[in-house]
């Protein structure tokens, strides 16, 4: 059974070094988290799986890494300055501020008062200042989504790579939203990471491609270990749709706090490229540049040659931090063993595990055991599978429990039989491999270890 409440996941994340509250030393910054030594490995593995499945396995999807600091004009013309808002209310009694759609029975979550102000729009973008002078022209935003960096590079990609429709641009990166009420650990946060693709198609082919991307993304999440019964699709109703979308299907996951959005797959039509085509024509007019065919960059494609049109775009947009939380929720298991002892085990897919294998010498202060264990560690590390841990607590049972909790798929123990060379001992030159989920142990010759590990991670 997966995790039943968020507290057990938060506790494991802190205890074992996955995720910490940011600035905890000074009381913590609300809605901002730091990934610890194991969390960063898990997050990087999830990113790598996404990049491989989308960019490397599709010849028509290209990678991009655009800037986080973004010009004000981009978000004026994208519509975010006027529409990227949540409705908020203030509690007149305790002065706390809430998102109106988060309140139950129109009641302050803090003090329970129903004496609330009328809802007011609150823009969620973080503003900052670029350069030494603080005035209207020096403002920039921390991007609230990675998508705009793709749209504003559309012409650069067309000019440099000449892709043919349909094609996509993929990006993983940080985005920032000044959430009024961050909550549920890393689910709703102010600084987060997105994994987004803008997939450009001919108008008229958008609806089948939208469906195709919903299916592709659902399949991918299942391959990360999320079970079918905890995943569901939800088409947004007209009142929920963002200002740019014709249709959006959300992939919901059953987090400990309920079914919530893990990824949205939106049909953004020609809204964004159309807005930026108009936007920069406006900017050119304001700058008194003669507006003619050449001075305005039309964000269009020609197909067939001579026939210009603005492509439609399908956008699968996943929250990476939410993905990490979903994977942790699914993997978390508390089991009662045959001797009534309990163990916590993270049943992560091997490709996501922060540590690929732990090498454990039977004793920590026996030079021959330590040397052999170190040699094996380095030979496995060179395979490039990820981190191989050398574990010298000198307590095998404790090491197994620790590696169960952090999801290490394999523990390899080096003992006196490993060092033994006599032929009469059938265990000579072998190590013990212990498998995380079944706890089954078997001995294999050291000479076969590399091939065994490579096969396991293939």
Residues that bind Zn ion (CB under 5 A): 91, 93-94, 108, 110-111, 113
Minimum CB separation from Zn ion for residue 7, in Å? 25
Burial of 242 (0-12, 13-18, 19+ CB in 10 A): middle
Minimum CB separation from Zn ion for residue 96, in Å? 5
Work out whether strand 387-390 and strand 355-361 pair parallel, antiparallel, or are unpaired. parallel
Minimum CB separation from Zn ion for residue 111, in Å? 3
Minimum CB separation from Zn ion for residue 123, in Å? 23
Question: 8 or 109: whose CB is closer to Zn ion?
Answer: 109
CA distance 225 to 417: 37
Phi, psi (5° rounding) for residue 20? Answer: -125, 150
Contact at 8 Å (CB) between 354 and 404?
Answer: no
Question: 118 or 137: whose CB is closer to Zn ion?
Answer: 118
Question: 52 or 120: whose CB is closer to Zn ion?
Answer: 120
**Per-residue DSSP letters for 216-247?**
HHHHHHHHTT--GGGEEEEEPPTTT--TT-SE
Question: 89 or 346: whose CB is closer to Zn ion?
Answer: 89
CB neighbour list of residue 80: distance below 8 Å, 6 or more residues apart: 125, 144, 148
Cα distances (Å, whole numbers) of residue 108 to 45, 99, 169, 257: 40, 10, 43, 20
Minimum CB separation from Zn ion for residue 118, in Å? 16
Minimum CB separation from Zn ion for residue 109, in Å? 8
Contact at 8 Å (CB) between 68 and 143?
Answer: yes
Minimum CB separation from Zn ion for residue 110, in Å? 4
CA distance 252 to 318: 11
Question: 117 or 160: whose CB is closer to Zn ion?
Answer: 117
Residue 188's SS3 state is: strand
Minimum CB separation from Zn ion for residue 90, in Å? 9
Structure tokens of 436?
Answer: 């995380």
Question: 91 or 360: whose CB is closer to Zn ion?
Answer: 91
Question: 115 or 240: whose CB is closer to Zn ion?
Answer: 115
Burial of 290 (0-12, 13-18, 19+ CB in 10 A): exposed
In the chain the first and final C-alpha atoms are separated, in Å, by 27
Work out whether strand 61-64 and strand 69-71 pair parallel, antiparallel, or are unpaired. unpaired
Minimum CB separation from Zn ion for residue 108, in Å? 3
Q: Residue 378's CB: how many other CB atoms inside 10 A?
A: 12
Question: 101 or 239: whose CB is closer to Zn ion?
Answer: 101
Question: 107 or 155: whose CB is closer to Zn ion?
Answer: 107
């Amino acid at each position: 059974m997966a995790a039943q409440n968020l507290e057990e996941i938060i506790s494991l994340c802190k205890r074992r070094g996955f995720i910490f509250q940011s600035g905890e030393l000074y009381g913590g910054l609300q809605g901002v988290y730091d990934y610890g030594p194991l969390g960063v490995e898990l997050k990087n593995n999830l990113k790598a799986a996404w990049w491989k499945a989308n960019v490397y396995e599709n010849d028509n999807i290209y990678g991009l890494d655009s800037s986080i600091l973004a010009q004000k004009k981009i978000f004026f013309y994208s519509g975010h300055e006027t529409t990227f808002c949540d409705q908020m209310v203030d509690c007149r009694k305790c002065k706390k501020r809430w998102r109106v759609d988060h309140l139950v029975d129109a009641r302050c979550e803090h003090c329970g008062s129903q004496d609330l102000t009328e809802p007011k729009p609150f823009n969620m973008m973080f503003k900052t200042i670029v350069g030494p002078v603080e005035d209207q022209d020096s403002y920039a935003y921390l991007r609230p989504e990675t998508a705009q960096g793709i749209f504003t590079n559309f012409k650069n990609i067309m000019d440099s790579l000449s892709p043919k429709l349909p094609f996509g641009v993929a990006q993983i990166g940080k985005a920032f939203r000044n959430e009024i009420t961050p909550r549920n650990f890393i689910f709703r946060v102010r600084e987060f990471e997105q994994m987004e693709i803008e997939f450009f198609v001919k108008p008229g082919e958008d609806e089948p491609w939208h469906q195709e991307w919903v299916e592709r993304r659902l399949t991918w999440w299942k391959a990360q270990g999320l079970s079918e019964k905890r995943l569901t699709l939800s088409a947004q109703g007209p009142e929920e749709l963002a200002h740019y979308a014709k249709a959006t299907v959300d992939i919901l996951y059953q987090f400990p706090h309920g079914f919530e959005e893990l990824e949205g797959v939106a049909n953004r039509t020609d809204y964004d490229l159309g807005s930026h085509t108009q936007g920069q024509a406006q900017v050119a007019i304001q700058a008194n540049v003669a507006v003619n065919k050449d001075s305005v960059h039309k964000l269009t494609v020609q197909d067939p040659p001579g026939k210009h049109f603005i492509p439609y775009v399908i956008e699968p947009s996943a929250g990476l931090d939410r993905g990490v939380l979903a994977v942790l929720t699914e993997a978390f298991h508390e089991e009662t063993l045959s001797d009534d002892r309990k163990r916590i085990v993270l049943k992560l897919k091997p490709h996501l595990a922060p540590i690929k294998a732990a090498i454990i010498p039977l004793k920590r202060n026996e030079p021959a055991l330590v040397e052999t264990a170190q040699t094996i560690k380095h030979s496995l590390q060179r395979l490039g599978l990820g981190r191989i841990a050398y574990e010298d607590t000198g307590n095998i049972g404790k090491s197994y429990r620790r590696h169960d909790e952090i999801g290490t798929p394999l523990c390899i123990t080096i003992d006196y039989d490993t060092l033994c060379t006599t032929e009469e001992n059938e265990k000579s030159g072998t190590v013990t491999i212990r498998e995380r989920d079944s706890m089954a142990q078997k001995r294999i010759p050291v000479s076969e270890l590399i091939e065994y590990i490579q096969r396991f991670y293939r």
